[in-house]
Structure 1
Amino acid sequence: MRASSPIEALTAEQTAALDRYRARWLAIRRSTAPCDRAAAEQGVRLAYQAAELKPPSRIIWCDGPVDLSDRASLASRTEGPNVKSAVIDRPRRQVAARVRARLRARIRAQVERAVNPADALIASVVDAVVQGTGTAHDGRSLLSRLQRSRPLSWRGTLNVLLGRDGFRYSAAGPAELSWLGPYEYVRDVLGLKEETALLLGLWQVAMNVGWLQPHEHTCWLSERPKVLRSDAEARLHHASGPALRFADGWSVFAWKGVEVPRWMIEQPATITLAAIDAESNVQLRRCMIEIMTPQCFVALGGARKIAADETGVLWRRIWFNYDIWSAVEVINATPEPDGTHKHFFLQVPANVQTAREAVAWTYGMRADEYANVMVRT
């Protein structure tokens, strides 16, 4: 590879392209489109070749990452050892070293921040999937699955039980492959084709699979999710169905980023004050109140009025485990089309004592600061 002078700064056109590549890789990570299996399999072969490995003799498609984990957990010695490090990690290090020689550190940081920012939604998906791979569809634990699987060596069994060869470490998905985005930008926009040539197969894989688990002789690939729903803050959320669902039926029900039992979403009418009181998980209790709606919770006697003034009404509920729910009820000054005024409930810290203090907190102000603003307006 011939030596070239390092790139000192991005041009205006190159800077403008950063947004395009960020959007492109965001769409790749969050895609629910069916995978292009032929393209994915070609990418796998190229990636193995770049890692100086023979292409896998078998490529097995799965309906989702949990299905992939279930199948891969039955792997015998004929599948060969896991080669994720050789296929993914080693090329990443090699390309990073070559790109470092061509780009100043501040340029590399600029590209990384712009093209591959933190993606909380996909991080939540990965966490849910990793948890889901610990339990089979029929509810059996990982240990019971191992007991009914093909015999493993004592070392292999120990590695799985200790998480050393668990799904998080042996497979790769949209979050683990998102680092490829900045290098695609570097190749396409900055012209570093020779430096990034090792990644041609991995790019093709990342664009056409959900998850992969590469072994020496067998590579398992999974489809993308069929459903991926989020709220305006990019949290896993769907008010009437699964927020995440794969073709194998494995699903996650979530409310504003919190995984909840299926019945809370599909049968919201069964949420009662007694059910809320019986729930020991604070996060789930908050979700139940929100699904029921705070207005209904208060109307049914779930909370006690603490204070009221011209700004609104402060409501509070204290449970025996010292969990405290506080919310201020305010009225929208703008009337609805039918002439009524909509009531809003805003959750506030447990230590506020007045409605004015609670409303002020929602604006990031003290009660006296908010009072002065009210006087001026």
Structure 2
Amino acid sequence: MPIERALTAEQRSALGDFRARWAAIRRATAPADRSAAEEAVRLAYQAAGLASPARIVWCHGPMALAKLAGRISRDDGRNLRARLVDDVHRDVAASVAARISRRMLAAVESAVNPDDPLAAAATEAVTRNVPEKNLSVLGQLRRNGLSWSGLLEALVAPRSFASCTAGPQDLSWLGAFDYVRELLGLRAETEPLRGLMQLATSVGWLQPHEHICWLAERPNLLCGDARDRLHHPSGPALRYPDGWSIWAWRGVEVPRWIIAHKDRITLAAIDAEIDVQVRRCMIEIMTPERYVALGGATRIAEDETGVLWRRNWLAADAWAAVEVVNATPEPDGTRRHFFLQVPANLRTAREAVAWTYGLRAEAYAGLVMRT
């Protein structure tokens, strides 16, 4: 029966250290430690009861990995992602649960491995942009051989990049087991994870097969905004050593030119953009002030709180902002104007300003202090 006990003050204090350590691992941009990663591959295969792969192939990023691994043949053997990662995770979790309560493990997991929006966004950007080359059932059979096991795999486990690889976000759960290994002394129970832990700290992505394991470098650039969304105001937000990159504005992937050549953003270019989110990013980059000044939006309503501006493209596709004046004058006596983007269904400036405070117009009307 698992032991139910409370963490000591020292153990509770260490939770923050492990949280920071694994956040740094997920967001690492230093070059991979190739010798450590290759040794970790052998440890991970051994922990899963598998022979080490005959070849380890390095790639300069996940796109290069996907391209090379897309040419797998029967000689490379089956994909082992589930065996190497998921099955070992399940078995170790069961061993740990026999020593400590699931409630304690859940508390450790929550503290050490909280949601990491930036790391998750980077992983999602990679998997979204990989050109999937899922094989047909016939194609998989041709590669795996005409056998019942090959037929079963082809029917229930179609190959995709996400299902065949593991990246930093896919291995983030290791942080909690690193903690129970080091702070709670469960070294024997977590020993099968030693290779995966070393891999997580040494490499970007991996795609393991029976006879070959592809490894990819970490990104050499990963940038986010204050809300941990992929973002960079003047360059790529995510970039790998092979040059593949993502340009993003406040969490929205945008074409490179929108950030690299801001001067090309015009009213005509904004109207020509069919992606609503990208279009709104273009207005933000141009700035709502300039967009309104150039005639991009129409004055809808005005009252003592400000001016409501809107631009309609289609019935359910519109942009709106409320223009407000700073209550505190500048040193020269002028007052700054601010444009706050708001939902396009609002009808009055008061309603729009109230929305920015999370209030209804009636409740906002009762406030003494206004922006």
Q: TM-score scaled to structure 1, two decimals? A: 0.90
Partner in structure 1 of residue 363 of structure 2: 369
Read off the aligned partner of 1:298 and give its amino acid letter. V
**Residues 73-114 of structure 1: CA distance to partner in whole angstroms, max 9, x if unpaired?**
112222111111221111111100011111222211111111
* Identical residues among aligned pairs (%): 59
Question: How far apart, CA to CA, are the structure 2 residues paired with 1:238 and 1:376?
Answer: 32
Determine the structure 2 residue equivalent to 1:46: 43
Determine helix, strand or coil for the equivalent of 1:56.
coil
Are positions 1:238 and 2:227 aligned together? no
Q: 5+ residue gaps in structure 2?
A: 136-141
Shift of 1:370: 1.4
For residues 27 and 309 of structure 2, the distance between their equivalents in structure 1, rounded to whole angstroms, comes to 39
Amino acid at match of 1:314: L
Check conservation: 2:74, 2:145, Cα contact below 8 A: no
Question: What is the alpha-carbon distance in structure 2 between the residues aligned to residue 154 and residue 254 of structure 1?
Answer: 43
* Other-structure match for 1:187: 181
1:127 CA drift (Å): 1.5
Structure 2 residue 253 is the aligned partner of structure 1 residue 259: yes
- What code does the residue aligned with 1:165 have? R
**Which secondary structure state, in structure 2, belongs to the residue aligned with residue 324 of structure 1?**
strand
CA distance in 2 between counterparts of 1:354 and 1:52 reads: 67
Q: Does 1:272 align with 2:269?
A: no
* 1:111-133 CA distance string (max 9 Å, x none): 11111111111221112111222
Deviations 1:46-80 (A, max 9, x none): 11111111111111110000101111111222211
Matched, 1:284 2:281: no
Match of 2:89 in 1: 92
Q: Output the CA distance in 2 between the equivalents of 1:208 and 1:30.
A: 12
Measured after TM superposition, the shift of residue 236 of structure 1 is 0.5
1:328, 1:348 within 8 Å by CA — same for their partners in 2?
yes
Query: Which TM-score applies when normalising by structure 2?
Result: 0.91
Rate the CA distance shift 1:73–1:157 in 2: closer, same or farther, 3 A: farther
Q: In the alignment, which of 105, 121, 124 is matched to residue 124 of structure 1? A: 121
Tell me whether 1:73 sits opposite 2:67 in the alignment: no
Distance in structure 2 (CA, Å) of the matches to 1:308 and 1:316: 12
Aligned counterpart, 2:325: 331
Deviations, residues 172-215 of structure 1 (Å, cap 9, x unaligned): 00111011000000111111111111111110000010000011
Structure 1 residues 259, 154: closer, same or farther in 2, change over 3 A? farther
Displacement after TM superposition at 1:331 (Å): 2.0
The amino acid that maps onto 2:164 is S
Q: Contact (CA 8 Å) 1:116, 1:179: kept in 2 or not? A: yes
**Residue aligning to 1:319:** 313
| Closer/same/farther in 2, CA of residues 218 and 270 from structure 1, 3 Å limit | same
Q: Residue 348 of structure 2 aligns with which residue?
A: 354
Cα distance in 2, alignment partners of residues 361 and 29 from structure 1: 36
**How much does 1:242 deviate?**
0.8
CA contact (8 A) 1:331 1:343 kept: yes
CA distance in 2, matches of 1:70, 1:376: 56
**2:45 alignment partner AA:** Y
Structure 1 window deviating more from structure 2 (349-358 vs 266-275): it is: 349-358
Matched pairs, number: 362
Deviation, 1:162, is 10
Q: Which range moved further: 222-231 or 79-88?
A: 79-88
Q: CA deviation at 1:322?
A: 3.1
8 Å Cα contact 2:270-2:283 kept in structure 1: yes
Measured after TM superposition, the shift of residue 376 of structure 1 is: 10
The equivalences for 1:98-247 within 5 A come to 98-134=95-131, 142=133, 152=143, 164-247=158-241
8 Å contact 2:351–2:360 — kept in the other structure?
A: yes
Instruction: Identify unmatched segments of 5+ residues in structure 1.
Output: 136-141, 145-150
SS in 2 for 1:319: strand
Instruction: Give the RMSD, CA atoms, in angstroms.
Output: 2.5
Q: Is the 8 A contact 1:160 1:166 kept in 2?
A: no
Q: Distance in 2 between matches of 1:158 and 1:85?
A: 15
How has the CA–CA distance of structure 1 residues 319 and 159 changed in structure 2, closer, same or farther, with 3 Å as cutoff? farther
2:366 corresponds to which letter in structure 1? N
Equivalent residue number for residue 138 of structure 1: none
- Decide which moves more: 76-85 or 286-295: 76-85
